[in-house]
Amino acid sequence: MDRFLVEGGRKLKGTVTVSGSKNACLPVLVASLLTDEPFVLHRVPDLRDVRTTLKILQALGKKVQYQNGTVTILADGALKNTLPYELVKQMRASFWVAGPLLSRFKQAVIPLPGGCALGARPVDIHLKGFERLGAACTTQQGNVVLSAQALHPAKITLRFPSVGATQNLMMCAALIPGETVLENVAKEPEIEDVSAVLRQMGAEVFSDEKGRLVVRGRSALHGVEHTVVADRIESGSYMLAAAATRGDVRVEGCVPEHNSMLLDCLQEAGVPLEIGADYVQVKPYDTPLKPLRVKTAPYPGFATDLQAPWMALMSLCNGTAEVDEDIFENRFMHAPELVRMGADIVTEKSIARITGVKKLSGAHVMASDLRGGFALLIAGLCASGVTEIERVYHIDRGYENPEGKLNALGARVTRYNPDKDDF
């Protein structure tokens, strides 16, 4: 498997352009199952999860072309309503095909999904919503079996504002004539990108005065041509990498307001920023980094996907910082690896306390999930000596060409495979 060798101690400097959002393009790609008409998406990042999603669409019967960031999806015979476990086990977002397949076929068989090892991430919110829409949901031999005589619009209240469940239910409801109302929904920018695509396809999707998501479905939907929104997690990750190295980096092609909580925290910690309409400039500084306490929360709160990269930054603060992970259990697996690099981190249940150190040291570490992997990259950039990161396939799931983008900023990151390369 590929690894990264990171030569630390170099301040990042230059400009990095943000890719399209992984968390938006995956459900938007899946939305192509709602129609047989041509479906064209631009600014699609070349990621492991994107490639897996395209394979899933092909396995379901779509013809897929992917070139220079543009995906074209066409009908290619009859669609299937079942998926092989070999594809589903690779990522959790594969379960998003359930909504479109259920609305088109009134039945679907989906293996329970895989993805990052972030503790229990049940799909019960999705299933309870499908039941409200008229489906019967059972689990048989590791598969979720969905079936319905007919589907109908409904009022659905989510027990937690799950992004995946919100998107899945939106897509399902878009192909059910009538008005479905979703309460306690996720409000992440990626939700709006999916909404925009569904509106182009012919459904009415909007938030009402009570903050509920209203979907007025249609019996048939059209194809679309759409450009994916900027990836706020990638943009935030590069801002944190720049801040941790005390560099001078312009993050272009982003939507700063999508990272407003992170920008506030960076400025409060003492990192100078210049914020434009579609860029954020992280400027160099020589003052001590102030420790902060952050608590992850659904948007517009502090993003759980930026918790690990933030922890890497706080490892170098002047004092003791605290992170309260309130979204996912078991999301501190990067902490012991940061400790191997000299960080002072103590975790207890959902709390991590980070006492800043003057410097980190290169070490042999292992990525255990997507965002934790990028946190190790940030730590390696700051550390003295060389850091070797194993299992970088986790990082590849959510960051397009990370070594290329970092090296263009002056980093020295080398990808190699010890089973193939001779060093």
pLDDT beyond 60 at 269? yes
The answer to whether residues 12 and 411 touch, using CB atoms and an 8 Å cutoff, is yes
116 is catalytic: yes
Q: What is the rounded distance in angstroms from the CA atom of residue 366 to the CA atom of residue 4?
A: 10
pLDDT beyond 50 at 382? yes
Nearest to 116 by CA among 92, 142, 82: 92
The pLDDT of residue 117 = 41
Q: Is 323 helix (H, G, I), strand (E, B) or coil?
A: strand
Tokens of 366: 């292992």
The answer to whether residues 309 and 241 touch, using CB atoms and an 8 Å cutoff, is yes
Determine which one of 25, 116, 172, 317 is catalytic.
116
Going by C-beta distance under 8 Å and a sequence separation of 6 or more, which residues neighbour residue 194? 24, 27, 28, 31, 167, 170, 171
The pLDDT of residue 338 = 98
- What is the rounded (10 degree) CA torsion for 404, 406, 410, 415? -60
Indicate the angle between helix axes 163-174 and 98-105, nearest 10 degrees: 20
Q: What is the rounded distance in angstroms from the CA atom of residue 139 to the CA atom of residue 161?
A: 23
**Which region among 53-57, 142-146, 225-229, 342-346 has the lowest average model confidence (pLDDT)?**
142-146
Angle, CA 135 vertex, CA 134 and CA 139 arms, to 5°: 155
- Condensed to tens digits (0 to 9), the pLDDT of residues 274-299 reads 999 999 999 999 999 999 999 999 99
- Condensed to tens digits (0 to 9), the pLDDT of residues 212-240 reads 999 999 999 999 999 999 999 999 999 99
State the pLDDT confidence band at 159, using cuts at 50, 70 and 90: very high
- Condensed to tens digits (0 to 9), the pLDDT of residues 82-116 reads 888 887 776 767 889 999 999 999 999 988 775 44
Give the up-direction half-sphere exposure of residue 109: CA atoms within 13 A in the CB hemisphere. Answer: 9
| Domains and their CATH numbers in the chain | 3-19+230-416 (3.65.10.10), 22-227 (3.65.10.10)
Strand-pair partners of 62: 75
